[in-house]
Structures are given as structure tokens and as C-alpha cells.
Structure 1
Amino acid sequence: MRDSRMIPLSVPNLSMDILDNIKETIETGWVSTGGRFIKEFEEKLAEYVGVKRAVSCQSGTAGLHLALRVLDIGEGDEVIVPTLTFIATVNPVKYLNAEPIFMDCDDTLNMDMNKLEEFLENQCTYADGKVVNKKTGKQIKAIILVHVFGNPVDMEKLMTIKEKYNLRIIEDSAEALGSYYLEGKYAGKHCGTIGDIGVYSFNANKIITTGGGGMVVSNHQELLDEIEFLSVQAKTDSLHFIHDDIGYNYRMTNIQAAYGSAQIDRLEGFVETKIRNYNLYKEEIEGIEGLTLLHFREDTRANHWFYSVMVDKERYGIDRDELLRRLIDSNIQTRPLWRLIHKQKPYLDNESYRIEKALIFEENLINIPCSTNLEVEDIEVVIEALKGNKKTVMRGD
């Protein structure tokens, strides 16, 4: 019989063979921002996602900050961002005194490309290679997109928009390492490798983890050169401590990279487990009236990082928040969707465009346990709890 331990939402899957790497960092003394594992991890990730080079950094957030900086985003500029994302996607825009414009999502939870195009066509002017927001008179320079929960964005449409309006594209791929396209123009391309700059995160709940840390990739080597330069305090001459710009202490540590170098070797196995567990959930949840497990795009190999369930109160009998409380009380860790960013206090005065669908997801979506070390028995417990909490709904004639 299963014990009463908590079934976590998403936790690291670590194995003891990682100790050899950690032992080496201790024995050599390379525990900080130098050491062989940093280069090794960068090379492994670059090879995995199919780019020439990757630059490690302190976090995914740091990577986004650096990306915006090298794309010359600054005070007086605007950046289009999703409202449905974790706030770390948007905060770096403010770090540089630029302003975000919030966009709605589509059925995949990703930025709505139709509304994006509509906004650019109807609410902006385009001349001399610059997009100007009619409402504010400010130039829109870039779009930050998020491959939400590992579900790839419609990059074909986005890149068409990019070319039409001369915009820079940053792919927040924090949740999408291991996701790639199977069909179309970008078949075989990984999330993060199509726009101008891609950023990955290795936070503890990601598909692989270094405890923290991030990685930046780009097909523009000059951008990566500048990102690397800025991440080490813009040090031009390390012997004489010459600094030619304002830089940051955004380096990854060798201990973090030691974890990452071992973790990335297991990534494909983690994705296989994620897909298997998702399908186990799907088979059962499809039979529970009032619950819908959100799908991943079939023309992609999504990493299936997070599993999202929509709760229809009228058909299920209780609302999302009540189900959330009951699952947590049953030692099943779950969470609601993030509070939409355009509703957060620091962003109440920023422009948002036709936010509609995201409001529905915010109110009714729940994330259920999805760790790669989740046992089939754990999935069965979650399924039984979802079934057991459904209330009989009385319908009139």
C-alpha cells in the first residue's frame, strides 16, 4: 500500500553518478566560475540543440537580461511579451527601463500570433524599418515569446511577422529544452534556435537542473561574444582588471555545470518518461467529465514539461480552486496558473491588447504532478483523486 508521502509537482531527478563530477570540483578547487565542466556543459548543450555555440550564465532571467541588452533594448523602447508566463520573462524589460506590451494567448497557452499580427497592423505604424506604437509614440524593437510548458510556439508565423516588421525575436525556452519541430520550414529545429537569441533555464523544477543557472544560444556569433563579455563584468583585460563597459556577475559556477553535464546525458530519457506519463494521464482524464488535459502540438516533439488540466465547474461540480485545495489536502502537490502579468502591481499601467483567452486559463487551469521520477502508482493516486473529487451535477430537463 502506498504511504502518505507528498506527491510533488515537479522535482529534480538526480542520480548518484553525478558525485564523480562534484568530487572533481572539490578536489581541484574549481567550485566557482571557472573549471572544465562549464565548457563541457556548454558544448554538450550546443550539440544537443544543434547550434555552434552556447554561453552559460547565472540563470534564465540573467540570460534574458543579457539578450535584451545586446539587442540594444533600452529606455524609451517597447517589447511585446505574453501576459501568460512567469514574471521572470518580463522583468528584464524593466531592468533596462523599457516597457512591455502584453499579448493574449491561444489554445496552446502560447502567444496568440493572430492577435500579435492584428496589433502590429492596426495599432502601429511601420516606416524606415521601425515599428512605432500609435498609442505611445515609442518604437517597438522586439518580441519575447515563451514556449509555455514546453509546447512550441508557431515559429513559422512568428518569423514571417519578424521579417515583415523588422523585429528582433527572443525565445524564452526556459521550459522547452528538448522540444523541437517535426514538420514545416523548421523541421528538426529545437525551440530556442530559430529566433535571434534563445534562453534556457536549469532551475530545480526544469526538465534538467543545475540547481540554478541558464544558457544562451544564437546563430549570431557576435551577439554571443557580447553576451559572454557582459556576463563576466565586461572584463577586457583580466590581468590588469580593465573593464570597457558596465557588466554583470552572471557566470555559471563549475559546480552547477558539473550537475548539468551529467543531467543533459539523461535528457532524452527524461523526455520519454514525460511523454509516457502524460499519455497515462490522458487516457484516464479523458473519461472524467468536466476535466480536460491540454494537448501538445502534434507537429512537434514537445518535451511535455508540465501537464495542465482545465476544470469546467458546471460539468465537474467544483471549481478549480476547490479542487486545488482538496488535492493539496490529499498530499498531492498542485498549483494554479501564474497570475497574469498585466494584472501584477508593477505592470498595471502598461499596455495590454485584447486579453481574453488568458483570463479563462488563469481562472480554470491547474497543473498536476509531472516529475520524471513519478511512479505509475503515483499517477494512479492522482487520477483517483481527480475522479473522487468530481461531484454529481444535477441537470434540469
Structure 2
Amino acid sequence: MVKKIGIHEPHFMGNEKKYLSDCISSNWVSNKGKYLKILENKIKKITKTKYVIPVLNGTIGLHISLILSNVNKDSEVIVPTISFISPINATRYLGASPIFMDVDDCYNIDQDKCIDFIETKTFFKNNKTFNLKTKKEIKAIIIVHCFGNAANFEKLAKLCKKRNIKIIEDAAESLGSIYTKGKFKNKHTGTIGELGIISFNGNKITTAGNGGVVLTQKRSIYKKCKYIVNQSKDDPVRFIHNSIGYNYSLSNLSASLVVAQLENLKFFLKKKREINKYYQKAVFKIPGLNILEGPRYSKNNNWLNLLLGRKIWKKKLFQNNKIQLRPIWFPNHLQKPFKQFQKFKVYKAQNIYKNAICLPSSTSLSKKDIKTIINFININQ
């Protein structure tokens, strides 16, 4: 039986079994243990972040980040309509309302439209930004680095600082993506806003099947975050809790897997670049098709490769037992639970959804696999 080519499969090639076995032998399997500290230090080194808090997954990281940004039921959060649903779900966990924004040519939140919205559809009073339409305070914006591409938000960051709107970066998909130009030069995605998150979900470049980290440069935020994700323990001996907390800490077991994966991050990123180049070369000669190019102001991790073409979205491409293909994220402003919320000049998102599909991008892919994938798509056009 021929194995199906998956969209993004984990690649265990190093010390995963060794470190996992070490955890089991030591009995340090819960939210204490040496691999959690090793994980924190490795992420600090990779991202140049001062403080790192391991958590159960990226969605939890966003939830905690919104809590730390004082988001509540009476506030609003600006979000992109094209992204995995986590930023919107995390916003709704707190009863806050999302405001949906369109995306740019790299499928990230549209900086110019965000600025347009803030400058023309809000007012500033008592160091707070309020929505003219709803009169609710806009407390945060979530910048998603979609498909591993670093988002363009230099001008927006400056305006948000002026308007006291907290920036939370969803770098779940962009571990290894670094800005190479401009004000953000040499900065890793997820480290520019007040808070950022990275995911270690099963489909990410490095994985433990679950897990994530919260990033911040501020010690005060780090201390609050550590406190909240560990059930807000004020006295762990007498079990005194003066605030609501959450059981959101990552386990030492999961951390051991991520540590082993991070040891091979350079190899994974190199292989990602090679796969992207293979796809570019293979698609070049096919009329009407091309591979999405990442922004030129950053070195991107090429997490997923997107094939672009007019009305390429065809059901039969996804209903096969040989190759796993999938559409990009469905526009969130059209999702049933979120249709009632405000959107602003969302024009591009609906069109790009119909004209892009995600290609298998596992680091274990061979040139032969890529050729098979492109031939299959070409035949089924």
C-alpha cells in the first residue's frame, strides 16, 4: 500500500526517544523538570526574548496574552479574517468582540486598512481607543504571521503605541522567521509586540504533538503569566489562591520532545527552503500557477507552501487517497459564530480563499514526492 503524502508530518530524527525515556525514568513528567528550563533557554536564544513561559498550546498562549492585556467582555480586539481560528476563539473566550480586517498579498493582516480603521473609525479619549460604532474600547490587535510569513506592521505598531492598543503576535506558524530589513531588522516574529506566542502543535516545524510558549520582554508580564498558568497559587503549601488561575503549564514530557526537535531546527529550516525552491521550479513552467512568495523584508520559515491559481480550489483535489491537499483558512468573518461582528473593508480575503491551496510541506518530502504532487495537480486542473 502506497503511503499518503501528508500536508505536514512530524519529523523525529534526533534525541526524542532518549529525552522522553529520561523523563519517564526520572518520574519528572508533569509541569516541573529540567527539560522545561532547557526549552525556555533554547527559545530565548533562538528568538532573543528575555522571558519565555511554556504552555499547553498556542491557543492557550493567546488566551493568556489577552488576559494580560486586560481584554474583557466590554472590549474589542482587531484580528485578521484569514488565520487559523485560534485568535478569534481566544478573543471570544473572554467575551470580547473581534473586529475583522482584510489581508495583504502575503496573506497577513493588512497594515494600511488597520491604520485606516483606527484613524477614521475610532476616537481617542483618556489614553484609550474607542470604536465610533460600538463605543467599546479596542484593547488589543492580534498580528498573525500566517503560513510562516512575517507580517508587515511597522507603521501600525507606531500607531498602536500612540493609541495604547496592545500588540499580541501570533507566531504559532513562524518559528525561525526573522526580519531582515527596516525597523524590525534582526527581530524574530513574536518578539515585537508586548506579548507573542509560538506553537508546537503536531503540524508545526518543531512539535511535541502539543505545546507552545508565551514570549515577552517585560519581567512584570512574565511574573503575572507564570502566576496565572500555574493556577494562581499564592500559597502552594496551604493551597491559597487569591485570583482565578488556569492549569495551562506545559509538561516536562512534552518539553523533552520539543527540546530534541529544536536541536534540529537549523536542518528543518534549511530543508524548508529547499522544498520551497523545488516547488517554485516545478510550478514555473505550468501556465496560470505559481507558488506564493514570502515578503522580501524577512527571512521566512516556509512553513506551508501555497499554490496560487485562478479558481484552483476544486473539490476533487481534496478527495483523493494519495496526496493530502487543503484549502487555506476559511475567512473567519464568514464563520457561523462570528458573522454578527464588525468587519472593515474585507475585499481580498474571499478572493484569495478561492485561488489558493496548501501543498504538502513536511521536512521529510523528497524531490520525487514534489514531482508526484505537481503532476497530480496538473492532471486534475
Return the offset for 1:340. Answer: 1.1
Deviation at 1:294, TM superposition (A): 0.7
CA separation in 1, counterparts of 2:159 and 2:324?
Answer: 40
Query: C-alpha distance in 2, partners of 1:4/1:94?
Result: 43
Q: What is the deviation of 1:46?
A: 1.0
8 Å contact 1:84–1:341 — kept in the other structure?
yes
Q: State the match for 2:350 in structure 1.
A: 359
Aligned ranges for residues 217-228 of structure 1 at < 5 Å? Answer: 217-228=215-226
Deviations 1:277-317 (A, max 9, x none): 1011001212211212111012211001011112214xxxx
Q: Quick one: distance in 1 between partners of 2:124 and 2:80?
A: 22
What residue number does 1:187 align with? 185
Do the aligned partners of 1:324 and 1:366 also contact (CA within 8 Å) in 2?
A: no
Matches within 5 A, 1:289-308: 289-308=287-306
* 1:197 corresponding residue in structure 2: 195
Partners of 2:18 and 2:12 lie apart in 1 by 13
What is the letter of the counterpart of residue 214 of structure 1?
G
Deviation at 1:9, TM superposition (A): 0.6
1:157 to 152, 155, 158: 155
Is 1:13 the counterpart of 2:11? The answer is yes
2:342 is the counterpart of 1:344? no
| 2:374 is the counterpart of 1:383 | yes
Q: Given that residues 305 and 361 in structure 2 are in contact (C-alpha distance below 8 angstroms), is that contact kept between their aligned partners in structure 1? A: yes
> Is the contact between residue 179 and residue 302 of structure 1 (CA under 8 Å) also seen in structure 2?
yes
RMSD: 1.3
Amino acid at match of 1:21: Y
Instruction: Decide which of 124, 127, 130 is 1:129's aligned counterpart.
Output: 127
Corresponding residue of 1:101: 99
Counterpart in 1 of 2:363? Answer: 372
**Aligned partners of 1:40, 1:214: CA distance in 2, in Å?**
14
Which amino acid is 2:122 matched to? C
**Shift in Å, 1:380:** 1.2
Counterpart-to-counterpart distance in 2, 1:115 and 1:14: 41
Bigger radius of gyration: 1
The letter for the 1-side match of 2:266 is E
Under a length normalisation based on structure 2, what TM-score does the superposition of the two structures give? 0.97
Q: Partner residue of 1:277? A: 275
CA contact (8 A) 2:283 2:289 kept: yes
CA contact (8 A) 1:43 1:53 kept: no
Partner of 1:110: 108
Alpha-carbon separation, structure 1, partners of 2:175 and 2:309: 28
Residue 320 of structure 2 corresponds to residue 329 of structure 1: yes
Size of the alignment, in residue pairs? 381
Cα distance, 1:17 vs structure 2: 2.6
Indicate the residue corresponding to 2:173 in structure 1. Answer: 175
Give how far 1:323 is off.
Answer: 5.4
Q: Which residue does the alignment assign to 2:313?
A: 320
Partners of 1:212 and 1:371 in 2: how far apart? 17
Aligned to 2:228: 230
SS in structure 1 at match of 2:314: helix
Q: Which runs of 5+ in 1 are unaligned?
A: 314-318, 391-397
Alignment gaps of 5+ in structure 2? none
Matched to 2:120, the amino acid is: N
Identity across matched positions, percent: 36
Question: Residues 334-368 of structure 1: CA distance to partner in whole angstroms, max 9, x if unpaired?
Answer: 10112211111111111011111000111221001
- State how far apart, in whole Å, the 1-side matches of 2:355 and 2:378 are: 17
* 1:216 partner SS: strand
What is the aligned partner in structure 2 of residue 395 from structure 1? none
One-letter identity of the residue aligned with 2:314: D
> 1:207, 1:275 → 2: CA distance?
12
The aligned residue for residue 117 of structure 2 is: 119
Is contact 1:102-1:342 (8 Å) kept? yes
More deviation in 55-64 or 304-313? 304-313
SS at 2:108 equivalent: coil
Residue 40 of structure 2 is aligned with which of 32, 39, 42?
Answer: 42
Q: 1:51-92, CA deviations, whole angstroms, 9 ceiling, x for partnerless residues?
A: 122010011011111111011111210010011011111111
